[in-house]
């Protein structure tokens, strides 16, 4: 029928506009490398902020004692305590608690958010068992993982540049987030000092390195996306401080804000961006990360409903609700292997209120999920290649000697749970690296490595050292 033909035309157009042939991905990877250089050269020199983390030493395994971490990233935050064994003893004991952030606090006031967090932290500390041991007279010390762009002023202080990922809180931008947390802890009567302020990418890199010496970069694919890596301190022209003894500096790229004319951006992406809380920003993130993939799919299906009556004569009202289709639901539909695609049928009914869909329609929905997930995964692979190129780890050694092993610590619910996304990313990266270089590059899932990483950095920056 004419309707079906129109739906297929919309699909074909989507497929063309989202295409990421290897040649295009190479252009994206090269653009990433170029922007990295520009961001390192000068403040404001690039869309990539290339933030200096003040972490010039990564964990060694010698860290000892009881330390805490607080991970504030997306929709949840986690509090964690770890007893570190030192000298190869690693993590002797650890406990964590996860608390979801009430949506009203994500768009409320700064003090309300920090009070809520400090209260949860105080409760967590109060529940501590005998098996965790803090030496007498010592203050508790915390690594604060704060996964938003921060301009660090030291390892334990930094001001918020902007909120991302659906947070829009008045009065925090430009403030020192450690000072905000410290004041809130004082209001709770909690005696604890923040000794390290890190991004989740930095935490993941530190946690990854603790267990594997070849970890030199970290990537987050969760609600948002970002990457961090180890840079040579002399390769950072905008750094005017003393060169660290290690000669190294960890850089928080804030790659979610990357953009390039080579990115395949559709009208759906443009509309999503314009209607978002942060228009014009985080363009790479809006193509790739878990907060947005389901929403892009919803926008495509809405177009098909409006222009091709895909779901009948009227447009299903729920399909017009922004962010109603979440990425985990998209992922469940994409992974549906039943012959009648019954998971797709159920999701369409339960979430969008569309019942009695034909198998043909369900297949079309899966195809849309596939196009959007593949584009995101392939662009993420291109980003990783860009980082490897900057580190000169993308090529097999020219003299034929064995290539050094390179490990990328990965964290985030999108990568961890969206199997088809993960497989596509890994296949694409291998294809771009080629069969000589690919075997020496390893992506290692470090689930919640960032919490441990932050606690480790709190330990290595302890006031008692």
Residues with catalytic roles: 165, 200
Q: Give me the sign of the Cα torsion angle 157, 167, 97, 295.
A: negative
Smallest distance, Mg ion to C-beta of residue 402, A: 35
Centroid of chain to Cα 165: 10
φ, ψ of residue 96 in degrees (nearest 5): -140, 165
Nearest to 223 by CA among 312, 314, 311, 148: 148
The Cβ-side half-sphere exposure at 430, using a 13 Å CA radius, reads: 10
Alpha helices in 225-326 (DSSP H): 267-274, 283-288, 293-308
Smallest distance, ligand ADP to C-beta of residue 129, A: 26
Helix axes 2-17, 293-308, angle to 10 degrees: 150
Q: Which does 417 bind (CB under 5 to 8 A by kind): Mg ion, ligand ADP, none?
A: ligand ADP
- Cβ closer to ligand ADP: 323 or 464? 323
CA dihedral 206, 207, 211, 216 (to 10 degrees): -40
The interface mask with Mg ion, positions 184-213, x = CB under 5 A, is: ----------------x-------------
Choose the binding region for Mg ion from 66-74, 185-193, 201-209, 304-312 (rule: CB under 5 A): 66-74
Smallest distance, ligand ADP to C-beta of residue 147, A: 6
Distance CA 268, CA 274 (A): 10
Quick check: helix, strand or coil at residue 277? coil
Note the residues at the interface with ligand ADP (CB under 6 A): 73-75, 222-224, 290-291, 327-328, 331, 412-414, 417-418
Nearest position to Mg ion, beta carbon = 73
The Cβ-side half-sphere exposure at 358, using a 13 Å CA radius, reads: 7
73 binds Mg ion (CB under 5 A): yes
- Cβ closer to Mg ion: 253 or 302? 253
Tokens, residue 278: 């942060």
Smallest distance, ligand ADP to C-beta of residue 248, A: 26
**DSSP count for the chain of H helices, then E strands:** 15, 13
- Cβ closer to ligand ADP: 316 or 413? 413
Choose the binding region for Mg ion from 18-26, 65-73, 160-168, 311-319 (rule: CB under 5 A): 65-73
Choose the binding region for Mg ion from 172-180, 217-225, 271-279, 309-317 (rule: CB under 5 A): 217-225
Q: Where in 345-454 does DSSP place strands (E)?
A: 406-411, 441-445
Tokens, residue 84: 């570190």
Smallest distance, Mg ion to C-beta of residue 200, A: 5
Smallest distance, Mg ion to C-beta of residue 261, A: 30
With contact defined as beta carbons under 8 Å apart, do 15 and 7 qualify?
no
Q: Which does 386 bind (CB under 5 to 8 A by kind): ligand ADP, Mg ion, none?
A: none
- Cβ closer to ligand ADP: 66 or 72? 72
Smallest distance, Mg ion to C-beta of residue 91, A: 19
- Cβ closer to Mg ion: 440 or 447? 447
Quick check: helix, strand or coil at residue 80? strand
Helix axes 267-274, 293-308, angle to 10 degrees: 110
- Cβ closer to ligand ADP: 365 or 414? 414
Nearest to 460 by CA among 163, 61, 48: 61
Question: Strand 140-146 relative to strand 192-198: parallel, antiparallel, unpaired?
Answer: parallel
End-to-end CA distance of the chain: 75
Helix axes 200-211, 449-460, angle to 10 degrees: 80
Quick check: helix, strand or coil at residue 105? helix
Q: Which does 94 bind (CB under 5 to 8 A by kind): Mg ion, ligand ADP, none?
A: none
CA dihedral 315, 318, 321, 327 (to 10 degrees): -110
- Cβ closer to ligand ADP: 166 or 244? 166
* Those residues with Cβ within 8 angstroms of residue 96's Cβ, 6 or more apart along the chain or in another chain: 78, 79, 80, 81, 448, 451
Smallest distance, ligand ADP to C-beta of residue 295, A: 10
- Cβ closer to ligand ADP: 69 or 291? 291
Where does this chain bind Mg ion (CB under 5 A)?
Answer: 73, 200, 222
């Amino acid at each position: 029928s004419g309707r079906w033909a129109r739906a297929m035309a919309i699909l074909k157009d989507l497929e063309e506009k989202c295409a990421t042939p290897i040649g295009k991905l190479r252009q994206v990877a090269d653009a990433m490398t170029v922007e990295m250089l520009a961001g390192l050269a000068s403040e404001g020199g690039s869309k990539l902020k290339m933030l200096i983390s003040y972490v010039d030493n990564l964990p060694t395994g010698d860290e000892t004692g009881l330390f805490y971490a607080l991970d504030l990233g997306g929709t949840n935050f986690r509090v964690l305590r770890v007893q570190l064994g030192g000298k190869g003893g690693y993590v002797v004991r650890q406990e964590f608690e996860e608390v979801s952030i009430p949506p009203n606090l994500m768009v409320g006031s700064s003090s309300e958010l920090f009070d809520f967090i400090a209260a949860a932290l105080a409760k967590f500390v109060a529940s501590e068992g005998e098996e965790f041991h803090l030496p007498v007279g010592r203050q508790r010390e915390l690594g604060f993982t704060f996964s938003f762009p921060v301009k660090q002023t030291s390892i334990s202080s930094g001001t918020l540049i902007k909120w991302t990922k659906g947070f829009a809180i008045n009065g925090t931008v430009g403030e020192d987030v450690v000072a905000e947390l410290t004041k809130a802890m004082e209001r709770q009567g909690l005696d604890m000092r923040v000794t390290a302020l890190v991004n989740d990418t930095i935490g993941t890199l530190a946690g990854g390195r603790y267990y594997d010496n070849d970890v030199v970069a970290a990537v987050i694919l969760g609600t948002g996306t970002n990457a961090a890596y180890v840079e040579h301190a002399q390769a950072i022209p905008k750094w005017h401080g003393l060169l660290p003894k290690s000669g190294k500096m960890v850089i928080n790229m804030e790659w979610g804000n990357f953009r390039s004319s080579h990115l395949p951006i559709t009208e759906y992406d443009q509309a999503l961006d314009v209607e978002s809380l942060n228009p014009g920003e985080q363009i790479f993130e809006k193509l790739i990360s878990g907060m947005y993939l389901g929403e892009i799919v919803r926008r495509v299906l809405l177009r098909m409903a409006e222009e091709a009556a895909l779901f009948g004569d009227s447009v299903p009202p729920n399909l017009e609700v922004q962010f109603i289709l979440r990425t985990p639901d998209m992922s469940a539909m994409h992974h549906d292997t039943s012959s009648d695609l019954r998971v797709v049928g159920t999701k369409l009914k339960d979430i969008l209120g569309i019942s009695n869909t034909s198998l043909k329609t369900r297949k079309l929905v899966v195809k849309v999920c596939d196009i959007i997930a593949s584009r995101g995964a392939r662009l993420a692979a291109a980003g990783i290649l860009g980082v490897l190129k900057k580190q000169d780890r993308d090529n097999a050694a020219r003299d034929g000697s064995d290539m050094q092993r390179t490990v990328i610590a990965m964290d985030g619910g999108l990568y961890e749970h969206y199997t088809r996304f993960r497989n596509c990313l890994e296949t694409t990266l291998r294809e771009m690296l080629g069969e000589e270089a690919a075997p020496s590059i390893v992506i290692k899932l470090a689930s919640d490595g960032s919490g441990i990483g932050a606690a480790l950095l709190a330990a290595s920056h302890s006031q008692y050292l």
